[in-house]
Amino acid sequence: MPVGFRIEARDPVSDARAGVVVTEHGEFATPAFMPVGTAASVKGMWPDQLRGIGYGCLLANTYHLYLRPGHERIRGLGGLHAFMGWDRSLLTDSGGYQVFSMSALRTVSDDGVSFRSHVDGSLHALSPELAVAIQEALGSDIRMALDECVAYPCERAEAEDAVRRTTVWARRCLAASRREEGGLFGIVQGGMFPDLRRRSAEEIGALGFAGYAIGGVSVGEGKELQREAVAATAPLLPADRPRYLMGVGTPGDILFAVSRGVDMFDCVLPTRNARNGMLFTSAGPLSIKQARNKDDGRAPDEACDCTTCRSFSRAYLRHLFLQKEMLAAMALTTHNLHYYARWMAAIRRAICIGNFGEFVKKSAGSGVDSNFAGG
């Protein structure tokens, strides 16, 4: 079945909406956060734990799975869902961002991207057609068109060329799509140039994708410019399709983007910060490795009911972290992903009961932006 989307509630003041994305592997409610499972695994988490926390969609990385273990191997083992033991929805990116991040190892042309593997230095060519073929072999429910992402800052000419190329590649991705199941999302680029963002949104939006993503943010531009780009782009995307902000972000960033009409998010922040000893809590960030926690018998977040907060003290978690015990990363990741799931549920609930404006005001008063700038 193709990807479906229905809107169940709208905020009367802002552009926030609550909806449901439907895929071959079930439904997930929006606004939705998708934990990042780069190599077909959310680090430190069992699939059952992610299901128990309430996640309905995970993200996996095309670039990494193409290099190891290979998309054809995964296809032969029953596809990515069977390979990783996940029976709910999966989104795969196109690999474009990973290639972008390796500027010293890649060359971009209208044909695609040539790059050297970060694993063994071998040379590869990623075309729009191959990006689609890899994702179809993986069997993901939501697949992303190959795009060209530019860094910040960049010259206008570079951003303009990336917009042109992204549109050309988007058409080629649609033409190459062979699977009826699932859906292909287009990506809007344009750097920090509002007119290029508008042009890209118009060109990509006219192509009839199953959903649309805002790309090219979180590339060094800072929070203010990021939010300007999101605010300028989101309303231009087709209102009857899911809107996805790629690689963002903090709880405050997510709340802002929801108010502008964005439905889907992914970011490594909750899992990466957990592995570095930082917890998101109702009282603000908590660095578990600090000495002040060594004799603290309190739960990490006394307002949280996750397994970590019900089971372990700050002192014990600090001990595990300093000892480099595997349980430290597992426990801290469990809490952070629980926090994000609870945050998204609270946002959705506020939209559904018509209280989103008050929720935003209350969140701003609690300093959610400053408290959750990342560890």
Same domain, 163 and 310: no
Whether residue 375 is predicted with pLDDT greater than 70 in this model: the reply is no
Same domain, 335 and 250: no
- Measured CA to CA in angstroms, residue 169 lies from 132, 146, 164, 172, 304 at distances of 11, 6, 9, 5, 45
Mean pLDDT of 175-202: 95
Q: Which of 267, 298, 324 is the last residue of a domain?
A: 267
pLDDT, mean over the chain? 95
The answer to whether the beta carbons of residues 273 and 375 sit under 8 Å apart is: yes
Same domain, 263 and 279: no
The answer to whether the beta carbons of residues 13 and 357 sit under 8 Å apart is: yes
Whether residue 157 is predicted with pLDDT greater than 90 in this model: the reply is yes
- Measured CA to CA, the distance from residue 156 to residue 193 in angstroms comes to 8
Question: pLDDT, tens digit, for every residue of 285-309?
Answer: 999 999 999 999 999 999 999 999 9
Nearest to 339 by CA among 308, 316, 295: 308
Confidence of residue 350 (pLDDT cuts 50, 70, 90): very high
pLDDT of residue 97: 80
Whether 375 maps to a domain, the answer reads no
- Measured CA to CA, the distance from residue 271 to residue 335 in angstroms comes to 9
Whether 105 maps to a domain, the answer reads yes
Of the candidates 11, 93, 147, 263, the residue annotated as catalytic is 93
pLDDT of residue 372: 43
Whether 374 maps to a domain, the answer reads no
Same domain, 37 and 110: yes
Same domain, 136 and 257: yes
Same domain, 209 and 295: no
The answer to whether the beta carbons of residues 42 and 58 sit under 8 Å apart is: yes
Same domain, 45 and 71: yes
H or E, element range at 184: strand 183-188
pLDDT of residue 181: 82
Whether 372 maps to a domain, the answer reads no
Whether residue 208 is predicted with pLDDT greater than 90 in this model: the reply is yes
Whether residue 320 is predicted with pLDDT greater than 80 in this model: the reply is yes
Whether residue 262 is predicted with pLDDT greater than 90 in this model: the reply is yes
| Amino acid letter, residue 122 | S
- Measured CA to CA in angstroms, residue 276 lies from 209, 249, 289, 305, 333 at distances of 38, 17, 9, 22, 10
Question: What tokens appear for 351 in the block?
Answer: 């939209």
Q: Which of 267, 285, 320 is the last residue of a domain?
A: 267
Is 266 a catalytic site residue? yes
Same domain, 47 and 161: yes
Same domain, 226 and 169: yes
CATH at residue 192: 3.20.20.105
pLDDT of residue 366: 73
pLDDT of residue 373: 39
Nearest to 177 by CA among 218, 224, 130: 130
The answer to whether the beta carbons of residues 116 and 122 sit under 8 Å apart is: yes
Same domain, 64 and 175: yes
Q: What is the pTM of this model?
A: 0.96
DSSP H helical segments within 20-155, as ranges?
47-53, 62-67, 71-76, 80-84, 96-100, 128-138
Of the candidates 11, 141, 263, 266, the residue annotated as catalytic is 266
Same domain, 214 and 331: no
Length of the chain: 375
Is 369 a catalytic site residue? no
Whether 373 maps to a domain, the answer reads no
Q: Which of 245, 267, 289 is the last residue of a domain?
A: 267
Same domain, 63 and 195: yes
| Amino acid letter, residue 283 | A
Confidence of residue 374 (pLDDT cuts 50, 70, 90): very low
Highest mean pLDDT among 118-122, 125-129, 363-367: 125-129
Mean pLDDT of 350-354: 98
Whether 322 maps to a domain, the answer reads yes
Confidence of residue 367 (pLDDT cuts 50, 70, 90): low
Into how many domains does the chain fold? 2
pLDDT of residue 216: 95
Provide the domain limits for residue 250: 4-267
Whether 279 maps to a domain, the answer reads yes
283-284-290-296 Cα dihedral, nearest 10 degrees? 10
pLDDT of residue 364: 86
DSSP symbols for 2-57? --EEEEEEE-SSSS-EEEEEEETTEEEEESEEE-EETTSS-TT--HHHHHHHT--E
Question: pLDDT, tens digit, for every residue of 21-66?
Answer: 999 999 999 999 999 999 999 999 999 999 999 999 999 999 999 9
Phi and psi of 28, rounded to 5°?
-140, 140
